[in-house]
Amino acid sequence: MAKANDEKEVFETIEPIGKRVLIRKDEDKKETKGGIQLPDNIEIPTITGRIVSVSAEVECSAEFPLRQYDKVLFNPKGAIPVDFEGDNRLFVVEVENLVAVFRRA
Question: Which residues lie across from 90 on neighbouring strands?
Answer: 24, 82
Domains and CATH numbers, the chain: 20-30+37-102 (2.30.33.40)
Is-contact 90 23, C-beta < 8 A?
yes
> What average pLDDT score do residues 68-92 get?
85
Q: Are strands 80-82 and 90-94 parallel, antiparallel or unpaired?
A: antiparallel
Q: Tell me the percentage of the chain whose pLDDT exceeds 90.
A: 42
Q: What is the band of 1 on the pLDDT scale with cuts at 50, 70, 90?
A: very low
> What average pLDDT score do residues 64-69 get?
92
Classify the C-alpha dihedral 80-65-14-84 as positive or negative.
negative
